Structure 1
Amino acid sequence: MKQCQLTVPSVIHAGQGCINQISEIINIEQAKNILIFTDKGVRGAGLCETVEKICATVSYKVIDDLTAEPAVADIERVIAEIGEAKIDLIIGVGGGSVMDASKLASIIVGADYTLRDLLKDSSIAKKHIKTIMVPTTCGTGSEATCNAIVAIPEQESKQGIVNNCMIPDYVILDVNMIAKLPPKIIASTGVDALAHVVECFTSKKATVLSDTYAKEGARKIFHNIRKAYNNADDMEAKSEMMVGAFYGGVAITGSGTTAVHALSYPLGGKYHIAHGVSNAILFAHVMAFNKDACADRLAQLCDAVYPELSSKSIDEKAEHIISEIAEVVKATNIPISLKEFGVKDSDLDFLVQAGSQQTRLLVNNCKKLSLDDIRYIYKKVM
C-alpha cells in the first residue's frame, strides 16, 4: 500500500435532532462571541432558528446576505464587515457557498494576508477561528473538505482555495435540516455529491483511504437519490443522502475531483449555472470519455454498489455505472443541454480555453485531456 493521508473533521454529530449538540460545543469551546453565516433563503425557511436560539445564551452576529456562489468581492465585503470584531466560533448554516464563506472567514479574520493573497498561494493559510458546519443540502460535501470555491468575475470562472486548515472542527448532520428541501435542490446537490464519489474513485490521486469513503458514499447515493427526490417524506433516504454527501467530501480531501468539476467551473463562472446542474450536464459524458482509462475502477465501484452484477464483465460493469449516472440525471429532471442556459456554439472557444485552465483538477483525471478533447466534451452537451 502506498503512503496516503486523509484529514477529516475532528467531531461529527449525525442523527435527527443533533443540531442541539451545538449548545455543548459552545460550552466546550467556551465561546462568547459567535459569527453565524447563512443566507436569506435558509434563514427564511426557519432553518437557522434553533442555532440562533442556542447562540442567544452568548453574543452572536448573523451574516445572511451572501450571494449564491459568491465572488471575491462578496467575501471581501463580508470580511470588511466583520472588521476587528472578536470572534470565538464560526457556524455555517447552509449550502456549499455558505460553508465555503464560513471556512474562508475562519482563516482570514485576524490574519495578516488577504483573500487575494490566498488566490495566489493558499499554502500561507492558517486557521484563526474554529468552525461548525451545518449543511442544509445533501450534496456539496463542503462540511468535510479543505476547499473553498470563489467566483472570479474578471476571468468568468471559479477558483478553489485549498488548505487542510480549512477542515471544519465540528460537523452537524441533522436530517431535519433537509426535511423540506425542494426536489430540485435534492436533485442538483445530490448529483453533485454523486460526482464527488465517482470522480474521487477514478482520480489519479485515489488512495485506499479515500476509496473507502467513495465506495460507501456511492452506494448510499445511487440507491437513495431517486427515493429522496420522489418522496418528500422518506427521511431514511434523505439521511442516507446526507451521510453519502459527507463521505463524498471526505473522499475529496484524500483524492480529488477530476474533469467533471474542472469543465463545470466556467459554466458557473460565466453563465451562472448552478454548480450541481453544470456537473450533472457533463457527468456521464466525461465518464464515458474516460472509460477506456478507468474501466477497471468503474467496475470495482459497480461491485461495491451493485454486487448482484458481480458476474458481469469489466466493460459491462463500467458501462452500467455510466448509464446509471445518466439515468439519475434523467430521473431527477435536471436539464441535459447547455442551450437551455443560453450557451451558444460561438461560446465554445471560451469554454475550451477556460476549462483547460482548471489544471488543479485536470491533473487528477485518469486521462489527459487535449484542447480537442475538451471541445469534444462540451460539444456533446450543446
Structure 2
Amino acid sequence: MSYQIKIPSCVYGDEGSIENVKAIIKKEDSKKIIIFTDKEIREHGLLDILTKLLDENNTEYRVYDSLTPEPAYQDADRVIKEAEDYNGDLIIAIGGGSVMDVAKLCSVLKGASYSVKDLLDDPAQARKQLKTIMIPTTCGTGSEATCNAIVAIPEEQSKKGIVNDNMIPDYVILDANFIKKLPKPIVAATGVDALAHVVECYTSKKATPLSDTYALAGAKLIFQNIREAYENADNLEAKNRMLLGAFYGGAAITGSGTTAVHALSYPLGGKYHIAHGVSNAILFAHVMEFNKDACEDRLAKLYDAVFHGLPARTMSEKAQYIIDQIADIVKVTNIPTDLKEFGVKKEDLETLVEAGSKQQRLLINNRKELSHDDIRNIYLKVLK
C-alpha cells in the first residue's frame, strides 16, 4: 500500500517564535495582511502581540474578528466576504480551530467563483489563492497542520469537514506565549481534542508508517504534559510540548484520519453547540472501550511508546490502561461527561443516532464497524 503525508512547509516553534512573522513577510514580499481572529483573542491582548510586530515592520493589515465560535458555513461565508474588498496578499490566522479553519477557507475562496457551500458539495474544486500563516492560541485543535476545515450545517444539525490539499497552511508559529494565559477549561478541552487526534489516527484503519510516527510522538507529548499544562499556567515548557503534540496530531490527521470519536461528536456540536473538544472528551473513552477488541494491539503499542517505564502488562492490560488514562485525564481536567448538562434529552437520542451514522467520512476509518445500535449504546452511556 502506498501512503503519503502532507504538512505545512515551514514551522517555527518555542517561545518568541512569533518574531519570525517579519521574515515571512519579507520572504513573501507581502504588502497587505488579512488577519482573522475573534473578539476574545483581541480582548486578551494576544492580537496586540502580532499587530505590534506588523506596526514595527510598517506592514499594512486589516483585522476581521466577527467570527462566532463553532461557526456555521453561512457564518464562515459571511466573514470571508467581509474580507473580499480588501486587497490583501497574505493571510494570518491567530486563534483556535474555528478561526484557523475560516482562514484556510479564505485562502482558497478569496477571488474565487465558488462559495463555502459549493465546497461542502464538492471540495475538490478548491484552489489556493493566498498563502497562510497559522498562529494557534489553544493547545489542541491541530488545524494549523491540516487541510481540513470544519463547519456546522444548521439544516442538518451536524458538522462536516471540507478537505482539500490546497488548504494546507504554508507557515505555522507554535509560540507558547499565545497560550500562557489560556483559561483552564480551554486547556482541558483542546488538549483532550489533541489527544483524541493522536489516539484515533494511530488506531485508524488508514494509519500508515508516516502517520504513526507523528501520532506516537504526539501521544507521548500530550499524555505526559496535559495535566501539568492544565494545573500550572506558568509552565511554558509543558505548554510548548502541548503545542507541538497538537501539531503532530494535526499532521497525523493528514496522513491517516480520525475515527468514531469525532464522527459521533459532530452532531453534538452541530445541534447543541457543545464545544468540539468537550464533545470529543465526553465520548472518547466510551468509543475506545467499544473499539478495544479491534485495536488492542495498537493501543498496546501506544502504551509501550508512552508509558515504557511502567511494570510489564499483558496486551489487554496495556490497552485498558490507555483507555483508563483517557478517562482519568477527562476527570482531572473537570470536563463534564453527562450530555444532560448541555440540554440533551433521551428523546433526542434517535436524532443523534441518525446524524452520527451519516458521518461516513470518519466512520469508515474506524477499525470496528458501528451499527445504529452500537451508536445508540455509546450515546446512552453519556445520557445518564
The AA in structure 2 aligned to 1:155 is: E
Q: Which runs of 5+ in 1 are unaligned?
A: none
Partner of 1:173: 174
Partner of 2:221: 220
SS at match of 2:63: strand
Determine if contact 2:80/2:102 at 8 Å carries over to the other structure.
Answer: no
Deviations 1:312-352 (A, max 9, x none): 11100000000000000001000011011111100000000
Deviations 1:247-304 (A, max 9, x none): 0000000000000000000000011101000000000000000000000000000000
The AA in structure 2 aligned to 1:226 is: R
Work out whether 1:239 is the aligned partner of 2:240: yes
Aligned partners of 2:17, 2:86: CA distance in 1, in Å? 29
Identical counterparts, % of pairs: 64
Cα deviation, residue 234, structure 1: 1.2
The AA in structure 1 aligned to 2:299 is: L
SS at match of 1:143: helix
Partner of 1:186: 187
Partner of 1:332: 333
Partner of 1:18: 17
Aligned partners of 1:255, 1:103: CA distance in 2, in Å? 20
The AA in structure 2 aligned to 1:305 is: V
Cα deviation, residue 58, structure 1: 2.0
Aligned partners of 1:266, 1:114: CA distance in 2, in Å? 23
Q: Which runs of 5+ in 2 are unaligned?
A: none
Residues 49-68 of structure 1: matches in 2 within 5 Å? 49-56=48-55, 57-68=58-69
The AA in structure 2 aligned to 1:123 is: A
Answer with 348-357 or 79-88: which moved more.
79-88
Determine if contact 2:64/2:83 at 8 Å carries over to the other structure.
Answer: no
Residues 71-150 of structure 1: matches in 2 within 5 Å? 71-150=72-151
Partner of 1:33: 32
The AA in structure 2 aligned to 1:112 is: S
SS at match of 1:308: coil
Answer with 82-91 or 202-211: which moved more.
82-91
The AA in structure 1 aligned to 2:148 is: N
Residues 157-168 of structure 1: matches in 2 within 5 Å? 157-168=158-169
Give the TM-score of the pair, scaled to structure 2: 0.98
Aligned partners of 1:335, 1:79: CA distance in 2, in Å? 33
SS at match of 2:117: helix
Cα deviation, residue 310, structure 1: 6.8
Partner of 1:322: 323
Partner of 2:271: 270
Aligned partners of 2:244, 2:140: CA distance in 1, in Å? 9
Aligned partners of 1:30, 1:310: CA distance in 2, in Å? 56
Answer with 44-53 or 15-24: which moved more.
44-53
Partner of 2:43: 44
Aligned partners of 2:37, 2:161: CA distance in 1, in Å? 20
Aligned partners of 1:96, 1:162: CA distance in 2, in Å? 14
Partner of 1:381: 382
Instruction: Report runs of 4+ in structure 1 exceeding 6 Å deviation.
Output: none
Cα deviation, residue 73, structure 1: 1.3
Cα deviation, residue 53, structure 1: 2.1
SS at match of 2:143: coil
Determine if contact 2:189/2:278 at 8 Å carries over to the other structure.
Answer: yes
Aligned partners of 1:211, 1:310: CA distance in 2, in Å? 24
Deviations 1:2-32 (A, max 9, x none): 3210101010000100101101100000001
Aligned partners of 1:302, 1:214: CA distance in 2, in Å? 12
SS at match of 1:61: strand
Determine if contact 1:303/1:310 at 8 Å carries over to the other structure.
Answer: no
Cα deviation, residue 79, structure 1: 2.3
SS at match of 1:149: strand
The AA in structure 2 aligned to 1:15 is: D
Deviations 1:219-247 (A, max 9, x none): 11001100111111111111111100010
SS at match of 2:146: coil
Deviations 1:162-181 (A, max 9, x none): 01111100000000000111
Cα deviation, residue 309, structure 1: 3.8
Answer with 71-80 or 166-175: which moved more.
71-80
SS at match of 2:145: coil
Aligned partners of 1:236, 1:34: CA distance in 2, in Å? 31
Aligned partners of 2:119, 2:74: CA distance in 1, in Å? 14
SS at match of 1:48: helix
SS at match of 1:127: coil
Aligned partners of 2:326, 2:63: CA distance in 1, in Å? 38
Cα deviation, residue 80, structure 1: 2.0
Aligned partners of 2:86, 2:311: CA distance in 1, in Å? 58
Deviations 1:21-72 (A, max 9, x none): 1011000000011100000000111101121122231221100111001111
Aligned partners of 1:80, 1:65: CA distance in 2, in Å? 12
Count of aligned residue pairs for this structure pair: 381
The AA in structure 1 aligned to 2:329 is: V
